[in-house]
Structure 1
Amino acid sequence: MHHAQIAQRAFNTPLMIDPAKALAFLSGMGPRITGQDITFRGLDVAGYDEAAAALPARASLFGSDHARRHQQGGNQPFAVVDGIAVIEIAGTLVHRGAWIGQSSGLTSYEGIAAQLQAALADPGVRGIALDIDSFGGEVAGAFDLADRIRAARAQKPVHAFVAEHALSAGYVLASQADRIILPRTGAVGSIGVVTLHTDMSGALDQKGIAVTLIHAGAHKVDANPYQPLPQAVHNQMQRELEVVRFLFAETVAVGRGDRMTHDAALATEAAVFRGTDAIAAGLADELADPVTAFHAFAAAPRGITSTTSLSRKGPEMTTTPNDTDNAPTKPAAQTPQEPPVTATAAEAADASASEAPAIAEPAATAPAPDPAPMDAAAIRAEAAEVAQVCAQANRLGVAIDAADAVSKGLKPDSLRARVLDDLAARSDAAGIIATAPAAAAAKDSPLVAAAKQTASDAKR
C-alpha cells in the first residue's frame, strides 16, 4: 500500500468531507500511515465503516473511450433502467483515480465524468440518475465535475437520488442536478472545508528521534508533520480554506438557483441537514423513498425535460469541460457567461454594491504585512473579502484567482487597485461611464466611483 501517497492526499490539503468520515479514516489508517497510535484534538465524532466493491475499468482526465466502446460493442460503463443511466457516486471521492465505479471504497471524479460523457452521447439514454451515498472527499477535481453535471442538464434531465448521504464534495455534485430527492433519514449539506495536520514532534522526542529539515525557500516545509504548526502557517491555511468555502457556496448557488442563495449556503456554517429540515433549508427538493422516486423518474414520458426552471443567474466556473473523445455537441442552452463591464454598467454597479460593501479607494498595490497577529474571526473576514473582490472582478471582466491571491498574501485593497488598473488600461472604466446613464443618478459603489475617477483623470 502506498502510505506516502495516502498521507499526501489526506494531510495539509483542503478536503470537503464530513468530519466523522475524516476521523473514521484516521482511526483506521492513521496508525498504518504513521506507524504508531494517534490522538485527535478539536473534534470528537464517531466514525463510520464502509464496504467497497472493486471495479477495475479505467478512465482518463482528458477523455475516455467508453462512448466509442459502447457504440461498437454495446458495453456500458453504467446501468440503464428504462432509458435512465444510473451513475453511482459512493464512498470517498478522489481526483485522478482513473477508474469507473468504486475501487477500495473510493470513487474517481474522472470515472464519474467518463460515465456522464457516455450517457450524454448515448441516444438511448433520455435521463441521468445520480445515485449518491458519499461523505465527500477531495477538493481537487470536484468543481470541474460540478461544471460538467450542470452543463449536462441542458441536454438531458439529471436527478440526484441521495441514499443516504450527500455531504461536502458529495453535495457539490448533488447540488448541480435538476432535482435532489432525499429519504426521510437522508443527510445533505456540510458546505465547508477541512484540512488535517498531524504533529509527530512529541512522539519523535519520546523515541529520541530528531528530524532535520534542510530546505530552500521559506515556505517549503510549511505544515510539515515533524514540527508543531506555527501560527502564521495556521492562519494562511485558514485563509485558503475560507476561499474554498466561498467557492463551494458559489457553486451550490449556481446549481440550486433560487432554491439556495450564496449567502444562505454560507449561513449553514457547514451544518448537516436531514429529512424535512433539508427540504426547508433549500438543500433538497423532495422527500421520498429513492427507489420509488427513481421509478417515477423513469416512467416519465419519453420527451421529459428538466423539471426545474432556474431564474437566478450566477457566475460560471472558470474551468470549462473539454472532452476530446466522442464529446457531445456543446448545448446552446448553457448558462451564459456574464457580459463584459462595458455592456451593463448598472449590473456592475449593483454587483459592486451588493458583493463588496467594504470597497474603498485602494492604498497600495503591494501587500502589506500584518501589523499584529490576526484572530480566527479576522482571518475569516479577510479571506471572505478577498473572495468577494475576486468574484466581483470576474463579473467585471477581470480574471483573478482567489486561491492564488490568498496564497500570495494579497490584501483586499491591493486587489481592488489591481482591478481598477486593469479596467483603466483596457479603457473599460470609460465604458462604465458611457453606458450607465441610469445608474449615474443612483449612489455608485466605491469601486465604480473609483473607476470613473480613473477614467476622468486619464482624459485630462
Structure 2
Amino acid sequence: MTSKPGLLARIFNRGSNAPVVASLAAAVLNQPLMVQPLIGEALVGGYLEGKITSADSVLKAERLETAGGADGAGQTVSMAAPVIGVINLSGAMVNRPMPGASGPGPVSYAAVRAAFDDLLEDDAVSSIILRLDTPGGMASGCFDLVDHIFEARGRKPVYALVDDHAYSAGFALASACDEIWISRTGGVGSVGVVRYHYDWSGNNAQIGLKVTPLFAGARKVDFDPNFPLAEEALGAAMADLEDMRTIFVDTVARNLGMDAEMVRATEAACYRGQGAVDVGFATRLGTWHDLIAHIGAGGAPAPQNAGDDPVEDAPEAVSKAPVLEAPAEPVAPVVPEPATAATLAAAVAGSELPALLGMALIRRGVQADESTDKALAYATDVRDACAATLRGDESLAASFIEKNTDLDAVRTQLLSMKAEEGRNSQVITAHPASQAETRAAEQKAQLNPTNIYKKRGN
C-alpha cells in the first residue's frame, strides 16, 4: 500500500513530528469506519508511516449576511437581509476532540454538534448551511449527531451543500438536512462500512522478531496485528460491519424518505452531480452562489407533502358560481407524460420491483417519450423472461435492464444461453463408462511395441 502524503495533507491537521499519531492510529486500525475506501486506505498508511502532516482539516462556523431579497420577478425588494449560519467542514471526522502538541486534531462530531446548536439557538440566524468537503470518518458518534440534526428539522431550514464531496459519514450528515444541494462535480454516497486489519507477522519473521501473547480469554487477541486474522474473528468482524451497515442504510432511508432496500442496493456506490439527484441522494443541482441566492430571495426547503389541490384552495365565491353546461365533446385519450429522472425514481420506489432491478432501471435512465409505467413494464418483462428461461439470481436481468437491451434481443440471448447450457450438459454425459474403458484399452494396445512392429511389417 502506498501512502499519499499530499492527500493526507487535506484531511488531518498534524505537524511532521506529531506526538499523537499513535492515538490517531488507534482510532482507525481495527475500528469500523464510515469513509470512502480509497481515502481510508491512505489514512491507514499515513498513520503507520507517521506522514499526517497538514493544517487543512477545519471546522469553522460563521454568520453570513446576504445582500437582500428579490421577488418572484427578480426585482429587488426592501426587506431585512437574512442572516445565514454556515458550518464549513473539511477533512475526516472522529468522535471526540483529539488535540495534541502539533495542532487541534481532526474535526470531531462533538465540535460539529456544538457549532450547529449555537446557530440553531441564535434568533438572528434564519437558515443553516452545512458545507461539506469530507471523505467520512469514524462510525462511533456519527449516528448520534445525524439523529440530532434530523430531530431539529422544522425549527430552521437546514441545507447541506456538497460542492466537493460528502462520502459515507459525511453523506450521513448531509442526509439529515432538509435539502441536499450538489454541484455538477460534487460527490455523495458510499453508504457502507469498512475496517482494516494489518497482519505484521510476516514482517516480524523477516526481522527475527517473535511475539508471544500472554492472555486470558479466547477472543482477547482476535485482531492483534502480530498474528494472522483467525476465521472466527473474521466472521465476527463481518457480522458487526453488516449490522452497522443496516443502521446506516435505515438512517439514510429515513432521512431521505427512500425505501431501505433501494439504499442498500447501491452497494456503497458513489454518485456525482445529476447522478446523485437521479438516485435520490441529492435534492437538486446548485452551487454555493445558487444556494445563497435561493435563501436570499426568500426560498425555503420544499415541504414534505407539496402539491395542494388548487380547486380546494379557490375562493368560496368561485366554487358557488353557476355552471353553464357545454355540449358534450369527444374525450381525447389520455397520453401519459414522458418520465423524468425524479418521477422514475419515485415510481421505482413505489413499485414491487426488487431493489437490484430498481437500481438498474434508474441507472438505465429516462428514455425518449417513455412513461414511468412503460419503464416499469419493461423491467418486469425482462425479469419474467429471465426467470422463465434460466434459473439463478437477478443479476442477469439487472444487467439487461441497465444496458437497455431490447426485449426481443433479451429473449434471443436467453434462448442462446439455454441452448449452450444444454450442449454443455450433453458433452459431460456423452460417453458411458464402459465405452470409455474400451477406448482406453484400444489406445493402450496401439501403443504396444509388438503391435507397432506388426504394422510396420517387422
Would you call these one fold, judging by a TM-score over 0.5? yes
Structure 1 pair 17–50 and aligned structure 2 pair: CA distance change class (3 A): farther
List gaps (5 residues or longer) in structure 2. 1-18, 67-82, 307-353, 355-458
Find out whether 1:248 has 2:248 as its counterpart. Answer: yes
List gaps (5 residues or longer) in structure 1. 34-47, 58-76, 312-353, 355-460
**Is the CA contact (8 Å cut-off) linking 2:97 and 2:105 kept in structure 1?**
no
1:239 aligned counterpart, secondary structure: helix
In structure 2, the partner of 1:269 is 267
CA displacement 1:135-193 (0-9 Å, x = unmatched)? 00000110000011111212111010002101000000000111101111111000000
In structure 1, the partner of 2:160 is 160
1:99-114 matches, within 5 Å, as 106-114=106-114
In structure 1, the partner of 2:304 is 309
Q: Which amino acid aligns with 1:11?
A: L
In structure 1, the partner of 2:24 is 6
Distance in 1 between residues matched to 2:108 and 2:305, nearest whole Å = 29
The structure whose RCO (Cα within 8 Å, separation 6+) is larger is 1
In structure 2, the partner of 1:22 is 40
Q: CA deviation at 1:14?
A: 0.4
Q: CA deviation at 1:80?
A: 3.1
**Is the CA contact (8 Å cut-off) linking 2:84 and 2:126 kept in structure 1?**
yes
Find out whether 1:81 has 2:79 as its counterpart. Answer: no
Q: CA deviation at 1:216?
A: 1.4
Distance in 2 between residues matched to 1:51 and 1:249, nearest whole Å = 33
**Is the CA contact (8 Å cut-off) linking 1:192 and 1:270 kept in structure 2?**
yes
Q: CA deviation at 1:275?
A: 1.2
Among 42, 52, 62, which residue is 2:56 paired with?
Answer: 52
CA displacement 1:256-305 (0-9 Å, x = unmatched)? 11xx221111010000011111111000011122322233223316xx5x
1:11-410 matches, within 5 Å, as 11-32=29-50, 52=56, 77-82=61-66, 83-97=83-97, 106-257=106-257, 260-300=258-298, 304=300, 306-309=301-304
Q: Which amino acid aligns with 1:309?
A: Q
Distance in 1 between residues matched to 2:263 and 2:135, nearest whole Å = 18
Q: CA deviation at 1:89?
A: 2.2
1:131 aligned counterpart, secondary structure: strand
Structure 1 pair 91–308 and aligned structure 2 pair: CA distance change class (3 A): farther
Distance in 1 between residues matched to 2:107 and 2:23, nearest whole Å = 16
Distance in 2 between residues matched to 1:220 and 1:80, nearest whole Å = 52
CA displacement 1:326-384 (0-9 Å, x = unmatched)? xxxxxxxxxxxxxxxxxxxxxxxxxxxx9xxxxxxxxxxxxxxxxxxxxxxxxxxxxxx
Q: CA deviation at 1:310?
A: 6.5
Distance in 2 between residues matched to 1:190 and 1:104, nearest whole Å = 27
Structure 1 pair 51–164 and aligned structure 2 pair: CA distance change class (3 A): farther
**Aligned length, in residue pairs:** 270
**Is the CA contact (8 Å cut-off) linking 2:58 and 2:88 kept in structure 1?**
no
Q: CA deviation at 1:26?
A: 2.8
**Is the CA contact (8 Å cut-off) linking 1:181 and 1:287 kept in structure 2?**
yes
Distance in 2 between residues matched to 1:112 and 1:118, nearest whole Å = 10
Runs of 4+ in 1 over 6 A off after TM superposition: none
Distance in 2 between residues matched to 1:245 and 1:54, nearest whole Å = 27
2:39 aligned counterpart, secondary structure: helix
Distance in 1 between residues matched to 2:179 and 2:213, nearest whole Å = 51
CA displacement 1:177-236 (0-9 Å, x = unmatched)? 111011111110000000011111010111111111111111111111000001110111
Q: CA deviation at 1:28?
A: 2.9
Could you tell me the TM-score, scaled by structure 1's length?
A: 0.55
Distance in 1 between residues matched to 2:305 and 2:236, nearest whole Å = 36
Q: Which amino acid aligns with 2:168?
A: S
2:195 aligned counterpart, secondary structure: coil
1:307 aligned counterpart, secondary structure: coil
Structure 1 pair 20–298 and aligned structure 2 pair: CA distance change class (3 A): farther
The sequence identity of aligned pairs, in percent, is 37
1:126 aligned counterpart, secondary structure: strand
Q: Which amino acid aligns with 1:7?
A: A
Structure 1 pair 310–212 and aligned structure 2 pair: CA distance change class (3 A): farther
Q: CA deviation at 1:50?
A: 7.5
